[in-house]
């Protein structure tokens, strides 16, 4: 189920053989995949994007799939390429003993595209009904930003002020802005 096509085939076959809808199968598969996350309360998720896209996310108030953005803002210019219609994230991964084995934010930003800002998304995102961790990267199609994000990371001090202005202008005062290197040092301390 690593690819969208493989996932669609799997869901179609399971729905057909079990006599239920693809949506019901998808819901069950998603719940099963969530149950396999080690120490889910410790897992932090990350979404990298440009400042321009970040502004759009804040103005819309939610992390939205590409198709949902087009429904709500037909004139918005999406990037030319994306591996998924959904909002893709990286995540911290823990072993069965609760030890960190893979950082969601690596030194090389593997698994994340875009640049400028990183949204730090906490474990509340797993409560959204469209959270999906069945593929290589977790995805969501619609999550209210203020419900899942407490911190936005920037690469340098020059980016902090415009990001803070975007948040303030849109009355998202519960989300703080931090330098990525400082936040990573603290987040991954003793891990």
Of all helices (H) and strands (E), which one includes residue 95? Answer: none
As a whole number of angstroms, the distance between CA 149 and CA 125 comes to: 9
- Structure-token pair, residue 112: 């994340």
Instruction: Categorize the per-residue pLDDT at 52 as very low, low, confident or very high, splitting at 50, 70 and 90.
Output: confident
Tell me 63's DSSP state.
Answer: E
Q: How confident is the model at residue 109 (pLDDT cuts 50, 70, 90)?
A: low
Which pairs from 70-78 meet CB under 8 Å and 24+ separation?
A: none
DSSP string of 147-169, one letter each residue: HHEEEEEESSHHHHHHHHHHHHH
What is the CB neighbour count within 10 angstroms for residue 2?
Answer: 10
In terms of Cβ atoms closer than 10 Å to its own Cβ (0-12, 13-18, 19+), residue 73 is middle
CA end-to-end distance (rounded Å), the chain: 30
Retrieve residue 119's tokens.
């949204």
Gap between the Cα atoms of 89 and 104, Å rounded: 8
140-186: pLDDT as tens digits? 999 999 999 999 999 999 999 999 999 999 999 999 999 999 999 99
Least confident of 72-81, 85-94, 106-115: 106-115
Q: Strand pairing partners for 117?
A: 49, 154
Domain parsing of the chain, residue ranges: 1-36, 38-187
Instruction: Enter the tokens of residue 29.
Output: 């598969």
pLDDT at 191 over 80: no
């Amino acid at each position: 189920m690593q690819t969208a096509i493989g996932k669609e085939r799997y869901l179609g076959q399971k729905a057909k053989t079990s006599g239920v809808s693809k949506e019901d199968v998808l819901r069950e598969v998603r719940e099963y995949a969530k149950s396999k996350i080690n120490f889910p309360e410790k897992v932090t998720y990350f979404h990298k994007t440009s400042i321009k896209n970040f502004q759009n996310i804040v103005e819309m108030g939610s992390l939205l799939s590409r198709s949902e953005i087009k429904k709500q803002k037909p004139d918005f210019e999406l990037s030319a390429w994306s591996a998924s219609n959904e909002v893709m994230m990286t995540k911290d991964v823990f072993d069965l003993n609760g030890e960190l084995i893979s950082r969601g934010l690596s030194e090389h930003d593997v698994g994340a595209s875009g640049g400028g800002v990183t949204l730090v998304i906490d474990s509340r995102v797993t409560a959204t009904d469209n959270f999906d961790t069945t593929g290589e990267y977790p995805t969501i199609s619609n999550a209210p930003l203020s419900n899942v994000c407490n911190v936005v990371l920037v690469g340098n001090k020059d980016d902090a002020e415009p990001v803070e202005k975007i948040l303030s202008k849109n009355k998202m005062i519960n989300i703080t802005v931090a330098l990525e290197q400082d936040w990573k040092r603290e987040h991954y301390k003793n891990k």
